[in-house]
Amino acid sequence: MLAKQKQLFIFGSTGDLVKRKVIPALSRLKDLDLKVITLGRKNLDSESYRSLVCGDNCSEDFIKKHVYSVINFEDKEICRDCNIYLDKDNVNYFYSALPPKNIGDVIRYVGRLKYEGYPISLLIEKPFGSSLKEAISLKKLIDEEKLSENVLISDHYLFKKEVMNLPLIPFKKIKIVSLEKVGLENRISYYDGVGALKDMIQSHFLNIFLKLLKNSKEILHTFEIISYERAQYGNGIDEGYVKDLGKSSDTETFVKVNGKVGDINFEFVTGKKFDEKISYISIDDDKIILNDLENPYIRLFEDFLSDKREGFLDMETSMLGWELTELIQLKESRLSFYKEGSNYLDLGFE
């Protein structure tokens, strides 16, 4: 008997993340009969969507099994065309790559579908909310819609091969570093007001750290920040970040955090517009390089569409990450500045 075709509905399908990572990953999934319904507010048809998003990233097999549908969050139905693809006999998979402010609409829509008898699995792209308060509010909404067993949180760093292979053994010291040569790229509207702390440390580094800690949900009372440094590329007046952004901003593009949890020392370093790309995890001085040779979204969607939950975040861990992030923010730190193309070691941050 042939396996039933699966259907994946993607909210936020015209965004940069979906274009760069998600569509290429879905085009490379093997041994999976998958219908992909991309959803967006732009008035496009399937062919014009692929012209906008795919480039050389869409396989012929993907094109045959793909459709685009226009959505309207002002409409109670949100996606009227989706009804022809929904299935009451099999799981309907939903992935949201929308900003946190729009996730509530997706949760309510998916909750209504579950109430109507459709089996549901919803994957929410990080961040889960834009603050601890918002994350708590989203969890409350998920509970109200009776979706607590149907929601997973996505962090592609947890699906990097090197991170998946990290040994779950006791350690005394961990350092996570991610420095980039690029700046804002196509993320200007998202990045400003978010900054390096939330964009990388809250969304990725803390998730890796909590994965490696035993009893991570019980360690909040031992979390201690020793130092917290913030910086922005440019001069804060008319060069660098403010020039790219088009206005002045207190948003940091570099962060260095040192702290302790119990007897474990940690250091997180991340920033943009440095002279080279550096990405690694060092555990008790054993350095593991994080490379970009593989698209982690391939493994991420393979697991999601196969109902394998182990690699995904739960809501409690996501909220713990927000609690720790807001503890870091309590440490007073004035914004400093660095030149584009600087060498990290030359700035005195090491």
pLDDT digits (tens, 9 = 90+) for 157-190: 999 999 999 988 889 999 999 999 988 777 777 7
Indicate if 96 and 244 belong to the same structural domain. Answer: no
Torsion of CA 268, 274, 280, 284, to 10 degrees: -50
Same structural domain, 149 and 202: no
Residue 249 is part of which domain span?
Answer: 157-294+301-347
Mean pLDDT throughout 196-215?
91
Span 182-200, pLDDT tens digits: 887 777 777 888 999 999 9
What's the pLDDT tens digit per position in 218-254? 677 889 999 999 999 999 999 999 999 999 999 999 9
What CATH number has the domain bearing residue 70?
3.40.50.720
Q: What is the pLDDT of residues 89-131, one digit of tens each?
A: 999 999 999 988 889 999 999 999 999 999 999 999 998 999 9
pLDDT at 29 over 50: yes
Q: Which of 119, 134, 154 is the C-terminal boundary of a domain? A: 154
pLDDT of residue 292 exceeding 70: yes
Same domain, 86 and 203: no
Q: Indicate whether 282 and 314 sit together in one domain.
A: yes
Q: pLDDT value at position 61?
A: 82
CATH of the domain at 178: 3.30.360.10
Flag whether pLDDT at 1 surpasses 60: no
Tally of structural domains, the chain: 2
Q: At what angle do helices 315-329 and 132-144 cross, to 10 degrees?
A: 160
- Residues 177 and 318 placed together within one structural domain of the fold: yes
Q: How sure is the predictor about 216, in pLDDT bands with cuts at 50, 70 and 90?
A: low
Confirm if 340 and 232 have CB atoms less than 8 A apart.
Answer: no
- Write down the pLDDT at residue 3: 55
Which residue type, as a one-letter code, is found at position 295? N
For residues 134-152, average pLDDT: 96
Judge whether 228 lies within some domain: yes
* 1 inside domain: no
Q: What is the mean pLDDT of the chain?
A: 90
Q: Is residue 174 part of a domain?
A: yes
For residue 273, how many other CB atoms are within 10 A of its CB?
A: 23
Dump pLDDT digits (tens) for 310-330: 999 888 888 999 999 999 999
Query: CA nearest 36: which of 45, 23, 48, 47?
Result: 23
Q: How confident is the model at residue 215 (pLDDT cuts 50, 70, 90)?
A: low
pLDDT attached to residue 31: 66
> Is 271 contained in some domain?
yes
- Per cent of the chain over pLDDT 90 is 65
Residue ending a domain, among 154, 189, 215, is 154
pLDDT class of 28 with cuts at 50, 70, 90: confident
Q: Which two tokens stand for residue 218?
A: 């019980």
Order of strands across the sheet with 151-154? 66-70, 34-40, 6-11, 92-96, 120-125, 151-154
Q: Within a 10 A sphere around the Cβ of 30, how many other Cβ atoms?
A: 7
CA–centroid distance for 59 within its chain: 24
The answer to whether residue 175 is domain-embedded is: yes
Q: Is the pLDDT of residue 83 over 60?
A: yes
Q: Can you tell me the mean pLDDT for 293-297?
A: 93
What is the pLDDT at residue 232? Answer: 96
Q: Residue 7 carries which side chain, given as an amino acid letter?
A: Q
If one counts every other C-beta atom within 10 angstroms of the C-beta of residue 346, the result is 11
User: Quick one: three-class SS letters along 207-275?
Assistant: HHHHHHCCCHHHCHHHEEEEEEEEEEEECCCCCEHHHHHCCCCCCCCEEEEEEEECCEEEEEEEECCEC
Question: Which of 122, 154, 186 corresponds to the end of one domain?
Answer: 154
Same domain, residue pair 223 and 236: yes
The Cα–Cα gap between 266 and 272 comes to 21
Residue 205: CA count within 13 A, CB half-sphere: 29
Which of 249, 295, 130, 134 is closest to 199 using CA atoms? 130
Q: What is the mean pLDDT of residues 58-64?
A: 83
Residue 95 domain flag: yes
Same domain, 227 and 170: yes
- CA 136 to CA 315: how far, in whole Å? 9
Flag whether pLDDT at 339 surpasses 60.
yes
Between 256 and 262, whose confidence is greater? 256
pTM of the model: 0.92
**At 173, which helix (H) or strand (E)?**
strand 173-179
Query: Do 71 and 114 belong together in one domain?
Result: yes
According to the model, what pLDDT value does residue 2 have?
43
